[in-house]
Amino acid sequence: MTYQSEIKKTMQWLSTIDDTIFIGQGVLYGDGIYRTLLDIPSNKKLEMPVAEDMQMGISTGLALEGYLPITIYLRMDFLILAINQLVNHLDKLEELSNGIFKPKVIIRCIVGSKTPLYPGLQHCQDHTELLKACLTNIDIIKLTSIDMIKTSYRKAIESDKSTILIEMKELYETTE
């Protein structure tokens, strides 16, 4: 079992939960590695344009309507483009609404690998500490080993809070 295959298996498990919906770029179209890791029914996928802030806003809206969005950012660098919706809305909505609204979103993002080819600064930065400094009501979990994957997603499902799960692309082929 590789890190990558455990991600795929966990996404398949998440797709069996009635109210989950997977949202992001390349979830329905294309042939990249991230789409192949999302081997789930098409009716569970919502394709997005390159509009990261809008994607997070739609994810929050879907959560308010009773869905459990699993919103996917192919690079953590792109999650930064959604920081307004993440910090000022999803993270604070319960406080802003005096406890009336408490949307729950699972955010999946990937820190890109620097090998075998260096993809450039905008595709491999790790902003975990920045997110921890900005967010007060969202759990953040960095998936640094295979055995963390399923247990961390299970914890996110069982939590009453939103969760960011950070994958490490450099670990995709590892078996430990």
The CA–CA distances, whole Å, from 102 to 63, 120, 147 equal 8, 37, 29
pLDDT of residue 122: 79
Around Cβ 36, how many Cβ atoms within 10 Å? 11
| Residues of the chain below pLDDT 50 | none
Buried-state track 8-27, b at ≥16 Cβ within 10 A, e below 16: eebbeebbeeeebbbbbbbb
Element (H, E) at 107: strand 106-111
Fold topology of 3-169:
Rossmann fold (3.40.50)
Q: What is the pTM of this model?
A: 0.94
Residue spans of the domains in the chain: they are 3-169
Given CA atoms 108, 114, 117, 119 in this order, what sign does their dihedral have?
Answer: positive
Element (H, E) at 162: strand 162-168
Among all chains, which residue has been given the structure tokens 């879907």?
62
pLDDT of residue 33: 65
